[in-house]
Amino acid sequence: MTTARGNAVTFGAKARELMQARDLSLRSLAKLTNFDPGHLSRVLNGHKPAGLELAQRLDDELAADGTLVALADERFARAADTPRRVDTGVLCTVAALLAATRRLEDQTSAATVLPSVRGYLAMTDRFAHEARGGVRAEAVGLASELTQYAGWLHVPLRRWTQAERFLDRAAVLGMEADDPQRVTTALSFAAYTAMRREQHKKAAALSEAARRDTRVNPGLRTYLTYQAAEISAADDRGAAYRLLSEAEAMVDRIDPAELVESTYWYTPAFFLGTHAFVLDKLGEHERARELMAESLATLPEEWRSAEWAERRRAFLAA
């Protein structure tokens, strides 16, 4: 079974999304996977089950990082049909799909992955609403993370109202799940959105709220400190320099093994560019340009060209 009910993403829809991102036709993909085009078409249209072999081949050819194999899993489809019976294994599958989608966004764009995220979110919302017992808190937490990511994806599209609505809801869901990491991430993204809209007071309030709970991983704590420094640069240079110094020291103490999947990009190269934004706000323009150039040069290639790095590329082009 390759389909899921409601608005949830399907095996075929996800495969077509990946084909479009790589400009691959059905016949080209059939040739690459050594499957009959007619059979492949029936699978992608939901008229036939994918089967593990085909799912694995498509996953490999489309660099789906396990997404298509997961969507072909019978357990996943059954859970979509009967969300009340969702278990931890299925929620782990959704989390893996989200992780793969984040990586795909690095290579494509927010608009490319948003349909899949909406599908995953529709399914996870049902899990969060209908799940029973101990699994419900896990489902609510995952719904928070997907809602937060949906909000983030609306930022590069400049859909500010939608971004804020998703991020507000993500924070509420995170509180319901008693998950400080997800609450704090939603608040930090909301502060970032306010910064992009030049809503300084709102950004400062959201950033301060995000920094109150220290029960988050080191990568997020470091980002929050840089974010507070950038916000402070507008009216409190002393505080901005103090926070910048704190953040720089924190980068050196980050252990990559302690980072959760939702913060995989919090690397020294990423933070170097964040540091540059703060220095630019403080008037150290030449040093800021040097650091930004170094940051972009040391980021992984797919990150350098990613949509989210456009602000960093534009910084050097200005």
Average pLDDT estimate for 93-97: 85
- List b or e across 37-65, with b for residues whose CB sees 16 or more CB atoms inside 10 angstroms: eeebeebbebebbbeeebbbbbbebbebb
Model confidence band, residue 236 (pLDDT cutoffs 50, 70, 90): very high
Average pLDDT estimate for 274-302: 97
Model confidence band, residue 176 (pLDDT cutoffs 50, 70, 90): very high
Whether residue 1 has pLDDT greater than 70: no
Model confidence band, residue 261 (pLDDT cutoffs 50, 70, 90): confident
Average pLDDT estimate for 167-190: 97
Whether residue 3 has pLDDT greater than 60: no
Average model confidence (pLDDT) for the chain? 90
Whether residue 303 has pLDDT greater than 70: yes
Whether residue 4 has pLDDT greater than 60: no
70-74, 127-131, 282-286: which has the minimum mean pLDDT? 70-74
Give pLDDT, residue 115: 83
Q: What is the pTM of this model?
A: 0.82
3-17, 31-45, 236-250, 280-294: which has the minimum mean pLDDT? 3-17
82-86, 155-159, 168-172: which has the minimum mean pLDDT? 82-86
Whether residue 219 has pLDDT greater than 60: yes
DSSP secondary structure string for all residues of 70-125: HHT-HHHHHHHH-GGG--HHHHHHHHHHHHHHHHHHHHS-HHHHHHHHHHHHHHHH
Give pLDDT, residue 246: 97
Give pLDDT, residue 258: 78
Model confidence band, residue 122 (pLDDT cutoffs 50, 70, 90): confident
Give pLDDT, residue 39: 92
Per-residue CA distances from 12 to 29, 111, 136, 267 (Å): 13, 18, 28, 34
Model confidence band, residue 260 (pLDDT cutoffs 50, 70, 90): confident
Model confidence band, residue 8 (pLDDT cutoffs 50, 70, 90): low
Model confidence band, residue 69 (pLDDT cutoffs 50, 70, 90): confident
Whether residue 182 has pLDDT greater than 70: yes
Assess contact for 151 and 164: CB atoms under 8 A: yes
170: left (phi over 0), alpha (psi -120 to 50) or beta: alpha
